[in-house]
Structure 1
Amino acid sequence: MTGFGLDTLALLAVIGLAGPALAAIPRLRLPVVVGELVAGIVVGRTGFGIVDATNPTFQLLASIGFALVMFVVGTHVPVRDTTLRGALGKAALRAIAVGAAAAVLGVMIASAFGTGHALLYAVLLASSSAALALPVIDSLGLTGPPVLAVTAQIAIADAASIVLLPLVIDPGRAPRAALGALVIAGAAAVLFIVLRHIERSGTRKRLHHYSEVHRLALELRGSLVLLFCLAALAIATHVSIMLAGFALGLVISAIGEPRRLARQLFGITEGFFSPLFFVWLGASLQVRELADHPEFIGLGVALGVGAILAHTVGRLFGQPLTLCVLAAAQLGVPVAAATLGTEQGLLAPGEPSALILGALIAIAATSAAGAVAKRRQAGAAPAT
């Protein structure tokens, strides 16, 4: 791919359909993003080289997709759910215990493979994915106090891991990254105050009504303006746009995301930018490096199994094993780590692919654990 025109966009849109196509196979039950990543690997650096992940236009569109994906992840964190507040204490305690276990395992894995990335691995092992796990919980109809508690735990781990990732992936730049993160947090706090005032004064509802009557999509336009401004601020302060997207998502979730905006964001993100981002990520990975450095296959397996082991610490607090494994669901943080590591050359050849492999192992375990939890819940339900 030498240029980037409408024909390339059409090709990428077709390639992105591999995600829904593989997800539609009942026996596989693959998350859509897995198919998109695999398709990107096939047509990118590892495969036939049909698309060029280094093309500036492709990279720009992928960056927009990355910001939108993290924005949606932030909106999935149940900030306003009052039923979670009673579970926050125990959930935070479990998250801290998982983090401690992850730190030990991270040191062991980094030492075993000689990468020197113990802090990065610890964050990866402790991370969860609200965007992945919460839809699984909803789709399976899992309910009850233990499920409520694990939902709170996932939200805490997801938020903490995304904030910590830029600080640990490149420890030498941690002070600058911390300062940039504080700037983004401050900007997000200001946005929260302003948007909450707009919501409480009724201005947002009036704009919503006007936009709906005239079909202007003002809420979506406003959200994109804020997202791009926050992303530009992130770049100016030398932090990842990942934080910008996630912070704005938390703000919208805390205020209350209008259903119409949720549908619009779903359409623009899942319909185009998210598939494009994951295809780009797959295309940018050089999976063949795993063959040249087979030890990184072992690293990927160790990260996937390690994430599951770290989260089984929840058993010490009476958490069902299936929910422990469900809490190990990870996607956003490993993807962000692979993206940052690839863009900034922070990881060794083959290491980004190993991070994705570890995430895929955790996703497979999560899917199986969810199915088992559903069967157990159905078996425990009283007969009618």
Structure 2
Amino acid sequence: MELISQVLAPTSQGLGKEPIVPFAILLLVILVVPIVFERLRLPGVVGLLLAGMVLGPHGWNFLQDKSQTMNLLSDIGLVYLMFVAGLEIEIDQFRHTANRSLGFGSFTFGVPMIVGTAVGRSFGFDWNAAILIGSLFASHTLLAYPIINRLGVTNNEAVTVTMGATVFTDISALLLLAVCIAVHTSQLNVFSLITLIGWLTIYATVVLVGFDWAGKEFFRRSREDEGHQFLFVLLVVFLASVGAQLIGIEKIVGAFLAGLAVNEALADGPVKEKVVFVGSVLFIPIFFVDLGLLVDLTSFTRNITTLQLPAFIIAGLILSKLVAAILAKYLYQYNWREAITMWSLSLPQVGATVAATLVGYRAGLLPPSIFNSIILLMLVTSTIGPLITSRAAVGLNTSVAKKHLAAPVYPSVNQNNNPFTIVVPVYNPHTQQHLIEMAALLASVANGKIIPLAIATAAAQMDAPRLEASLQRSERLLAKSCAVSKALNVESEPLLRIDDAFAQGISRAAREQTASLIVMGWGKRTGIRAKLFGNVIDNVLWASHCPVAVTRLVESPRKIQRILVPVENLMAPVLQPVHFAHILAEGLQAQVTVLNVCERRTSSSKIASLRSQLALIVSKLSLSNPPEVQIIAHENVAQAILQAARLYDLVVLPFIRNHTIPGGLGISDVTTQLARQLTCSIVMLGEPQRGIEATATAGVASKTAVV
């Protein structure tokens, strides 16, 4: 490493004079490294940290941690990280299990706090630094949420209690950080400390209550103006950060409280997706790279005594979190699988821990040895935590899901006894025939009707030539759609609508027509613009009151004979594609296969048990022709489904939107991989947003586009 640094030093110093060069290197790193590490089933943040170590002053010296550009982007990333941490806290989950969440939060905060403080004192730190070290042990990051979401156990009480405990641990740890830093930098006496706590209480009240009210009012008045809502959220973040610094506390405390304040106003909507995307795709990854620039892991190799501190910190954190989970197990009568899951979920130390460590290090309260040890702790816990969760969470009880298993998803008539109505937005003349055929097959089985919908975007004047041309084009599309539906003997009612945007026009028309389903086309266009500003499908999914079927049909749907429905877990929202596939198969006289992929080392008896369990759950959907059930043991879920799909004409997938951890650097969703690699026809089914249960129903819509 030293030889490489000596050879490359002159070159790196020359390049370092050009600010655009380090920025280009940063973009390359944050684009490539997370993808590589996710393929290795490791968190992307680990790769970014390691990249910073390799490219920084203690490695190849391509990037400098003292660069003004790097410091600015890193500070924005730090503020963004803590804002997203507050934004992603499930307030509703906390309210539903408030007492137990506070109980486990007290355990998983108090026990590690005591152990961390003891470790700090045993290594000669004063009380203020030791307490801050203890607070670094106390918080946790839900890094493994995508895993429990995929396994379908988010409704298990032990899981929701752990998620709710994040509110208590993060807030407590950050407030303790603010006090410790203030004591260190200002040498506060008792009176000054009481004054600071008073100002902190007033400030927190103003942010949590005042910004929450202002956010709801602004969102109510701005309605669907996502651009203004996006700018309002950014203004709130940085105003809260500046306000925190004015009263003498760290800006990350203000950013976190701002996330909590606008949490409910944003909800799980498109504006939140855009806000999180901007941070997770640029600023937060740059922060983690900059963090890696400060780390000198070679310091641990100089003598054996330097390994004692990180060893005690890692062991103390792991054991103290385990003790907290065991206390919760005996107090709340959880089983051992639930206790181990709670332990593994509370292990990863990423968001609040890393941010607080950097603040303490910059303030001079924490020495480099503690900083390097905490970074090593983050690398270890963010790796082993999700691995333990992926094994412990399998088989957790999900009582909430069981109550909805028998509920029909797509009945022939809706609750208002209106005909089963399918809205089909038409835009591309090359794909509209297949879309109409798909809708006609579904409508014929449900004795319903289809509504071909053409949107003519509004102009400043209603007699503008562009609007007139758009109307003529829409009329031609609708005429072709009516001809296709007539040939298929299905009732159709064409609808031409003038609206200011495609997505809003589709959602409004579907609501006005009391639609039971929207069938749309799916293209392959992706990119930064689609992710940042959203596209038609993404916005329709967020706004729609009914299910949305996004289709990519490589041939006429009337030729489909075999339909595959991969099922990742046994929850009702993921089983809904089974019902959708059944309705389609009824009109085609096709065969449906439900596929579940388990781990390769699963025993034959366990596979047989899983097959029986899945068959029993599917049977509760009361299907006239029950589908075939298959269980495959394979080490890679996506590859197993891809291999099986070679024998099928259509694959029906659910949209599953991963919960965004701080930085949005979670393990890639299987649905995303399949959508990219499947060569047969695809239907991806998105359910309307319904509070907490809707967090897993959206999926990869931001990666698609209407064609």
Question: Is 1:137 equivalent to 2:153 in the alignment?
Answer: no
> What is the SS of the residue equivalent to 2:249?
coil
| Structure 2 CA distance for partners of 1:184 and 1:235, relative to 1, 3 Å | same
- Cα deviation for residue 177 of structure 1 reads 6.1
- Mapped to 2, the partners of 1:115 and 1:4 lie a distance apart of 41
Corresponding position of 2:138: 126
> What is the SS of the residue equivalent to 1:51?
coil
Residue 304 of structure 1 contacts residue 359 of structure 1 at CA under 8 Å; is this kept in 2? Answer: no
Pick aligned residue for 2:217 from 184, 197, 202: 197
The equivalences for 1:177-256 within 5 A come to: 178=197, 181-182=200-201, 184-188=203-207, 189-199=209-219, 202-205=220-223, 208=224, 211=225, 217-256=227-266
Q: Report which stretch shifted further, 110-119 or 37-46.
A: 110-119
TM-score, normalised to structure 2, is 0.49
| Structure 2 CA distance for partners of 1:266 and 1:95, relative to 1, 3 Å | closer
> What is the SS of the residue equivalent to 2:61?
coil
Residue 87 of structure 1 contacts residue 148 of structure 1 at CA under 8 Å; is this kept in 2? Answer: yes
- Cα deviation for residue 323 of structure 1 reads 1.8
Aligned length: 369
Residue 165 of structure 1 contacts residue 337 of structure 1 at CA under 8 Å; is this kept in 2? Answer: yes
| Structure 2 CA distance for partners of 1:107 and 1:24, relative to 1, 3 Å | closer
- Cα deviation for residue 62 of structure 1 reads 0.8
- Mapped to 1, the partners of 2:310 and 2:181 lie a distance apart of 17
Question: Is 1:46 equivalent to 2:70 in the alignment?
Answer: no
Question: Is 1:23 equivalent to 2:33 in the alignment?
Answer: no
Corresponding position of 1:315: 326
| Structure 2 CA distance for partners of 1:239 and 1:287, relative to 1, 3 Å | farther
Residue 121 of structure 1 contacts residue 303 of structure 1 at CA under 8 Å; is this kept in 2? Answer: no
> What is the SS of the residue equivalent to 1:17?
helix
Q: Which has the larger radius of gyration?
A: 2
The Cα RMSD (Å) is 2.6
| Structure 2 CA distance for partners of 1:372 and 1:237, relative to 1, 3 Å | same
Which amino acid is the alignment partner of residue 10 of structure 1?
A
Q: Which has the higher helix share?
A: 1
Q: Report which stretch shifted further, 327-336 or 57-66.
A: 327-336
| Structure 2 CA distance for partners of 1:282 and 1:101, relative to 1, 3 Å | same
Q: Which has the higher strand share?
A: 2
How high is the sequence identity, in percent, across the aligned residues?
Answer: 22
> What is the SS of the residue equivalent to 2:393?
helix
Q: Report which stretch shifted further, 244-253 or 259-268.
A: 259-268
Q: Report which stretch shifted further, 134-143 or 172-181.
A: 172-181
Residue 287 of structure 1 contacts residue 350 of structure 1 at CA under 8 Å; is this kept in 2? Answer: no
- Mapped to 2, the partners of 1:177 and 1:6 lie a distance apart of 42
Corresponding position of 1:346: 365
Structure 2: gaps spanning 5 or more residues: 1-12, 397-568, 570-605, 616-707
- Cα deviation for residue 242 of structure 1 reads 0.9
Corresponding position of 1:364: 383
- Mapped to 2, the partners of 1:84 and 1:349 lie a distance apart of 36
- Cα deviation for residue 47 of structure 1 reads 1.0
- Mapped to 2, the partners of 1:180 and 1:63 lie a distance apart of 24
Corresponding position of 2:660: none
- Cα deviation for residue 42 of structure 1 reads 0.9
Residue 44 of structure 1 contacts residue 53 of structure 1 at CA under 8 Å; is this kept in 2? Answer: yes
Which amino acid is the alignment partner of residue 373 of structure 1?
A
Corresponding position of 1:96: 106
Corresponding position of 1:7: 21
CA deviations 1:278-298 (Å, max 9, x no partner) are 111111233333334754533
Corresponding position of 1:148: 160
Question: Is 1:290 equivalent to 2:304 in the alignment?
Answer: no
Which amino acid is the alignment partner of residue 359 of structure 2?
L
| Structure 2 CA distance for partners of 1:192 and 1:86, relative to 1, 3 Å | closer
Which amino acid is the alignment partner of residue 377 of structure 2?
G
Corresponding position of 1:71: 83
| Structure 2 CA distance for partners of 1:326 and 1:94, relative to 1, 3 Å | same
Q: Report which stretch shifted further, 52-61 or 281-290.
A: 281-290
CA deviations 1:157-179 (Å, max 9, x no partner) are 22322222222356434738646
- Mapped to 2, the partners of 1:273 and 1:119 lie a distance apart of 30
Corresponding position of 1:374: 393
Which amino acid is the alignment partner of residue 99 of structure 1?
F
Greater RCO structure (CA 8 Å; 6+ sep): 1
Residue 296 of structure 1 contacts residue 351 of structure 1 at CA under 8 Å; is this kept in 2? Answer: no
Residue 19 of structure 1 contacts residue 34 of structure 1 at CA under 8 Å; is this kept in 2? Answer: no
| Structure 2 CA distance for partners of 1:308 and 1:247, relative to 1, 3 Å | same
Corresponding position of 1:161: 173
CA deviations 1:328-349 (Å, max 9, x no partner) are 2221232113311332222223
Residue 119 of structure 1 contacts residue 169 of structure 1 at CA under 8 Å; is this kept in 2? Answer: no
- Mapped to 1, the partners of 2:222 and 2:147 lie a distance apart of 32
- Mapped to 2, the partners of 1:333 and 1:373 lie a distance apart of 25
Residue 184 of structure 1 contacts residue 230 of structure 1 at CA under 8 Å; is this kept in 2? Answer: no
Which amino acid is the alignment partner of residue 174 of structure 2?
I
| Structure 2 CA distance for partners of 1:223 and 1:147, relative to 1, 3 Å | same
Residue 113 of structure 1 contacts residue 295 of structure 1 at CA under 8 Å; is this kept in 2? Answer: no
Residue 125 of structure 1 contacts residue 307 of structure 1 at CA under 8 Å; is this kept in 2? Answer: yes
Q: Report which stretch shifted further, 362-371 or 132-141.
A: 132-141
Residue 22 of structure 2 contacts residue 62 of structure 2 at CA under 8 Å; is this kept in 1? Answer: no
> What is the SS of the residue equivalent to 2:58?
coil
Corresponding position of 2:467: none
Q: Report which stretch shifted further, 324-333 or 180-189.
A: 180-189
Which amino acid is the alignment partner of residue 115 of structure 2?
L
CA deviations 1:142-200 (Å, max 9, x no partner) are 2322222222123322232222222235643473864664454144132112223334x
| Structure 2 CA distance for partners of 1:261 and 1:156, relative to 1, 3 Å | same
TM-score, normalised to structure 1, is 0.86
- Cα deviation for residue 249 of structure 1 reads 0.8
- Cα deviation for residue 371 of structure 1 reads 0.9
- Mapped to 1, the partners of 2:248 and 2:384 lie a distance apart of 35
